[in-house]
Amino acid sequence: MPAARGAGRDRRGKDGTPSTAPASAPAAERRALASSATPTARPRRSPAVCAKTPDLPVGEPFASACAPPPASAVEERLRQDLAARLDHTPGLTAVRLARPFFEHLEAWPDIVLPELRVAIEYDSTGRHGLEHVGRREEADRRKDRALRAAGWEVIRIRTGRLPPLGPYDLCVAGLTRGTVDQLLDRLREIRGPFLVDAYLREAPPTAAAG
């Protein structure tokens, strides 16, 4: 008895491997078989968390071995201007976080005020207008959330028409003589005038006038 048509035919795919589906199988079934034969992709590995962060309580400030240097001369000037007005522990560059932020269990504010638990950031759009916008703005928001979850508050000094991201942000045209005064007022809003004024290096204007 002759064999059924196509039964003895060696069916192979374009790559030369034998076909797993019979000739009479519907197209949908053949596609299903082909997809089941495709190897599954390996799961993506989570990035390793940097081991240099010291084992400190969440929210503890410290001097980080990984913190980058000041990003601009303006940022360094702001740091010096604020230090001339407000007494605080110098040299601290990071805050311990509860969860990793870009592969680190720490965040690096531009200025760390440990006595007040306030982090200060100086934001500009940069030379090419690309800083702190788009995905970088979302990274700023994530950083702020991580710091607040660690018990800190954040003040961002936003320049170049950057909109505020948080309730205490300052939108300014640039760093001027009055910027530090505005910053001190924001600190008083957050922590209260009695606590903030206790760290002033000079008497506040109202007290000096009286």
pTM of the model: 0.73
DSSP output for 8-36 = T---B-TTSPBPSS-TTS-HHHHHHHHHH
In a domain, 139, yes or no: yes
In a domain, 30, yes or no: no
The domain that contains 74 carries what CATH number?
3.40.960
Burial (CB < 10 A; 0-12, 13-18, 19+), residue 146, is buried
In a domain, 119, yes or no: yes
DSSP output for 132-191 = TSTHHHHHHHHHHHHHHHTT-EEEEEE-TTPPP-STT-EE-SS--TTHHHHHHHHHHHHH
What's the pLDDT score for residue 125? Answer: 73
Q: What is the DSSP letter of 61?
A: E
In a domain, 98, yes or no: yes
Give the separation between CA 101 and CA 138, rounded to whole angstroms: 12
What's the pLDDT score for residue 30? Answer: 57
In a domain, 48, yes or no: no
What's the pLDDT score for residue 33? Answer: 52
Q: What is the extent of the structural domain holding 68?
A: 61-202
- Structural domain count, the chain: 1
In a domain, 42, yes or no: no
Q: pLDDT over 70 for what percent of the chain?
A: 70
In a domain, 132, yes or no: yes
Pick 201 or 134 by higher pLDDT.
Answer: 201
Residue 4 has pLDDT above 70, yes or no: no
Q: pLDDT over 90 for what percent of the chain?
A: 60
What is the per-residue pLDDT across 79-125, written as a single tens digit (0 to 9) for each? 999 999 999 999 999 999 999 999 999 999 999 999 999 999 999 87
Give the separation between CA 86 and CA 82, rounded to whole angstroms: 6
What's the pLDDT score for residue 9? Answer: 47
Residue 21 has pLDDT above 80, yes or no: no
> For residue 182, how many other CB atoms are within 10 A of its CB?
14
Q: What tokens does 129 get?
A: 């207008």
What is the per-residue pLDDT across 24-50, written as a single tens digit (0 to 9) for each? 556 666 565 555 555 555 655 557 889
What is the per-residue pLDDT across 158-199, written as a single tens digit (0 to 9) for each? 998 899 999 999 999 989 989 999 999 999 999 999 999 999
Q: Which helix (H) or strand (E) segment is 84 a member of? A: helix 73-85
In a domain, 147, yes or no: yes
